[in-house]
Amino acid sequence: MVRLLLALLTAALLAPVASAQLAPAGERHIAIDLVAESDRPAPGSEVTLALVSKPDAGWHGYWKNPGDAGIETTLAWTLPAGVTAGPLEYPVPHRLLIGGLMNYVYQGPFTQFVTLGIPAGLAPGTALPIKVRADYLVCTNEICVPETRELETRLTVGDGAIDPARRADFDRWRAAMPKPLGSPARYAVADGMFRIAIPWPADAAAADPYFFPLAASGPSFSAPQTVRRAGDLLILETSAQGAGPPRIEGVLSVGDGNGFALTAMPGAVPAGDAPQTAGFDVALALTAFAGAVLGGLLLNIMPCVFPILSLKALSLARAGEDAGAARAEGLAYTAGAILACAALGGVLLLLRAGGEAVGWAFQLTDPRIILVLLLLVTAIALNLAGVFELPAPGAVNRLSARGSGGAFATGALAAFVATPCTGPFMGAALGTALVLPWWAAMLVFAGLGLGLALPFLAIGLSPALRRRLPRPGPWMERFRHILSVPMFLTALALAWVLGRQAGVDGMTLGLAAALLLALALWWTGSRQTRGSSRAWVPGAAAGALALAAIVLVERAPADAAPRVAALGAQPFTEATLARMQGEGRPVFAYFTADWCVTCKVNEKTAIETAAVAEAFKSGGVQVLVGDWTDGNPELGRFIEKHNRAGVPLYLWYAPGSATPQVLPQLLTTSMLTRLPAPQAAAVGG
Amino acid sequence: MKAKHWMLPGLAAIAAFALPATVPLAAQQTTGQKAGNFALTDMNGRTVRLSDFKGKTVVLEWHNPGCPFVKKHYDSGNMQKTQAAAVAGGAVWLTINSGAPGKQGHMAPAEARSLFAEQKLRSTNYLLDPKGVVGKGYGAKTTPHLYVIDPQGTLVYQGGIDDKPTANVADIASARNHVTAALGELKAGRPVSQAETRPYGCSVKYPEVA
What would the pLDDT profile of A258-297 be if each residue is shown by its tens digit?
A: 788 888 999 888 876 655 444 445 666 777 788 778 877 8
Question: Residue A559: which pLDDT band, with cuts at 50, 70 and 90?
Answer: very low
| Residue A100 touches chain B, beta carbons under 8 Å | yes
Provide the pLDDT for residue A7.
47
At residue B185, what is the residue type?
A: E
| Residue B142 touches chain A, beta carbons under 8 Å | yes
Q: Where are the alpha helices (DSSP H) in B93-156?
A: 109-118, 133-137
ipTM above 0.85, yes or no: no
In chain A, what residues touch B6 (CB-CB under 8 Å)? 64, 87-90, 214, 249
CB contact under 8 A, B203 and A70: yes
Q: Does residue A83 have a pLDDT over 90?
A: yes
| Residue A366 touches chain B, beta carbons under 8 Å | no
What CATH number does the domain located at A30-176 have? Answer: 2.60.40.1250
Name the minimum distance, in Å, from the CA of B153 to any CA of chain A. 22
Strand ranges (DSSP E) for A140-290? 144-156, 179-180, 185-190, 193-199, 210-213, 218-219, 226-230, 233-241, 248-253, 259-266
Burial class (CB in 10 A: 0-12, 13-18, 19+), A510: buried
Residues A465 and A453: their CA atoms lie apart, in Å, by 15
pTM, to two decimals:
0.51
Percent of chain A topping pLDDT 90: 20
Q: CB under 8 Å, gap of 24 or more: what pairs does B181-186 form?
A: B182/B148, B182/B156, B182/B157, B183/B57, B183/B59, B183/B85, B183/B86, B183/B89, B183/B91, B183/B148, B186/B57, B186/B148, B186/B150, B186/B156
* Spatial strand order in the sheet of B155-159: B47-49, B39-42, B125-128, B92-97, B58-62, B146-149, B155-159
Provide the pLDDT for residue A621.
87
How far is C-alpha A130 from the chain's CA centre? Answer: 45
Name the minimum distance, in Å, from the CA of B116 to any CA of chain A. 21
Closest CA to A632 of A367, A430, A356: A356
Provide the pLDDT for residue A315.
65
| Residue B206 touches chain A, beta carbons under 8 Å | yes
Closest CA to B144 of B208, B65, B87, B76: B65
Q: Which of B4, B23, B66 sits opposite A261 (nearest CB)?
A: B4
CB contact under 8 A, B6 and A87: yes
Provide the pLDDT for residue A304.
58
| Residue A294 touches chain B, beta carbons under 8 Å | no
Q: Which of A146, A178, A242 sits opposite B68 (nearest CB)?
A: A146
CB contact under 8 A, A69 and B7: no
A 232-261 residues inside an 8 A Cβ radius of B: 239-243, 245, 249, 261
Residues A562 and A569: their CA atoms lie apart, in Å, by 11
- In this predicted model, which residue has the larger pLDDT, A246 or A469? A246
CB contact under 8 A, B16 and A216: yes
CB contact under 8 A, B10 and A76: yes
Closest CA to B72 of A88, A148, A29: A148
Provide the pLDDT for residue A679.
46
The CATH 2.60.40.1250 portion of chain A extends over: 30-176
The answer for residues whose C-beta is within 8 angstroms of residue A228's C-beta and 6 or more apart is A234, A235, A236, A237, A271, A272, A273, A274, A275, A276
| Residue A621 touches chain B, beta carbons under 8 Å | no
Mean pLDDT (whole number) for A445-452: 83
The answer for residues whose C-beta is within 8 angstroms of residue B3's C-beta and 6 or more apart is A89, A90, A113, A177, A178, A180, A261
Q: B32-203 sits in which CATH class?
A: alpha beta
The answer for residues whose C-beta is within 8 angstroms of residue A323's C-beta and 6 or more apart is A463
Mean pLDDT check: name the lowest of A234-243, A341-350, A634-643: A634-643
Question: Residue A320: which pLDDT band, with cuts at 50, 70 and 90?
Answer: low
Pairing relation of β-strands A259-266 and A101-106? unpaired
Name the minimum distance, in Å, from the CA of B206 to any CA of chain A. 5
- Least CA distance to B23: which residue of chain A? A217
In chain B, what residues touch A175 (CB-CB under 8 Å)? 1
CB contact under 8 A, A98 and B208: yes
Closest CA to A213 of A156, A253, A255: A253
- In this predicted model, which residue has the larger pLDDT, A222 or A350? A222
- Which of A171-185, A631-645, B64-78 has maximum average pLDDT? B64-78
Provide the pLDDT for residue B115.
95
Provide the pLDDT for residue A553.
65
Provide the pLDDT for residue A365.
59
In chain B, what residues touch A75 (CB-CB under 8 Å)? 9-10
In chain A, what residues touch B4 (CB-CB under 8 Å)? 89, 178, 180, 249, 261
In chain A, what residues touch B168 (CB-CB under 8 Å)? 135, 146, 148
Topology, domain A185-266: Immunoglobulin-like (2.60.40)
Residues A524 and A534: their CA atoms lie apart, in Å, by 9
Closest CA to A96 of A66, A73, A52: A66
Return the DSSP state at A606. I
User: Which of B6, B14, B98, B134 best tests the A interface by mutation, with the highest count of A CBs <10 A?
Assistant: B6
Pick the CATH number of A570-684 from 3.40.30.10, 1.10.287.130, 3.40.1190.20, 3.10.20.600: 3.40.30.10
Closest CA to A440 of A624, A281, A554: A281
| Residue B25 touches chain A, beta carbons under 8 Å | yes
CB contact under 8 A, B3 and A113: yes
Provide the pLDDT for residue A470.
67
Provide the pLDDT for residue A643.
56
Provide the pLDDT for residue A502.
78
| Residue A87 touches chain B, beta carbons under 8 Å | yes
Return the DSSP state at B61. E
What would the pLDDT profile of A94-139 be if each residue is shown by its tens digit?
A: 999 888 889 999 999 999 999 999 999 899 999 999 999 999 999 9
Mean pLDDT (whole number) for A394-412: 57
| Residue B21 touches chain A, beta carbons under 8 Å | no
3-state secondary structure of B173: coil
Provide the pLDDT for residue A487.
77
pLDDT tens, N- to C-terminus, chain B (210 residues): 333 333 333 333 333 333 322 223 334 788 899 999 999 999 999 999 999 999 999 999 999 999 999 999 999 999 999 999 999 999 999 999 999 998 889 999 999 999 999 999 999 999 999 999 999 999 999 999 999 999 999 999 999 999 999 888 999 999 999 999 999 999 999 999 999 999 999 999 998 864
Provide the pLDDT for residue A302.
64
CB A494 within 8 A of CB A377: yes
Report domain extents, chain B.
32-203
What would the pLDDT profile of A152-166 be if each residue is shown by its tens digit?
A: 999 999 998 889 899
The answer for residues whose C-beta is within 8 angstroms of residue A166's C-beta and 6 or more apart is A35, A37, A38
Q: Does residue A672 have a pLDDT over 80?
A: yes
- Which of A31-35, A206-210, A470-474, A662-666 has maximum average pLDDT? A31-35
Provide the pLDDT for residue B186.
94
